[in-house]
Amino acid sequence: GAGVSQSPSNKVTEKGKDVELRCDPISGHTALYWYRQRLGQGLEFLIYFQGNSAPDKSGLPSDRFSAERTGESVSTLTIQRTQQEDSAVYLCASSSRLPVDEQFFGPGTRLTVL
């Protein structure tokens, strides 16, 4: 079956512009996560969605970052007024309803802010 997909695969933008990154989770997966991977670094948790529960936004680095998810489907991560330090690969992952389960990762969106 299809895995997690993300679009675009690459995004180059100018400082100060807004960007939207999209994630399509695996069908039937209720949990969805966003992570950020800066060059040469490990992944940092950003935000988590689980069904209709309130999202866990504890990892968002500033109020310029926001995310939405419609039901148990697509999620969009929005970065407003991008800064150069926002340059990174943004990874999305999904997992099933089980209390403890593996996360399946998408290929990521590489964001470059000039």
Instruction: Reduce the DSSP state of residue 84 to 3 states and report it.
Output: helix
Q: Does 95 bind other proteins (CB under 8 A)?
A: yes
The answer to whether 65 contacts other proteins (rule: CB under 8 A) is no
Cα–Cα distances in angstroms (integers) from residue 78 to residues 3, 6, 54, in the given order: 22, 14, 18
Tell me phi and psi for residue 47, to 5 degrees. Answer: -155, 155
45 touches other proteins by CB under 8 A: yes
Rule CB under 8 A: choose which of 7, 20, 59, 80 binds other proteins. Answer: 59
If one asks whether residue 48 binds other proteins (CB under 8 A), the answer comes out as yes
Under the binding rule (CB under 8 A), the answer on residue 71 touching other proteins is no
Compute and round to an integer the Cα radius of gyration of the chain.
13
CB atoms within 10 A of CB 18: 11
93 C-beta neighbours (distance < 10 Å), count: 22
Site string for other proteins, 10-39 (x = CB under 8 A): ---------------------x-x-x----
Q: Interface residues with other proteins (CB under 8 A)?
A: 4, 31, 33, 35, 40-45, 48, 50, 56, 59, 91, 93, 95, 99-108
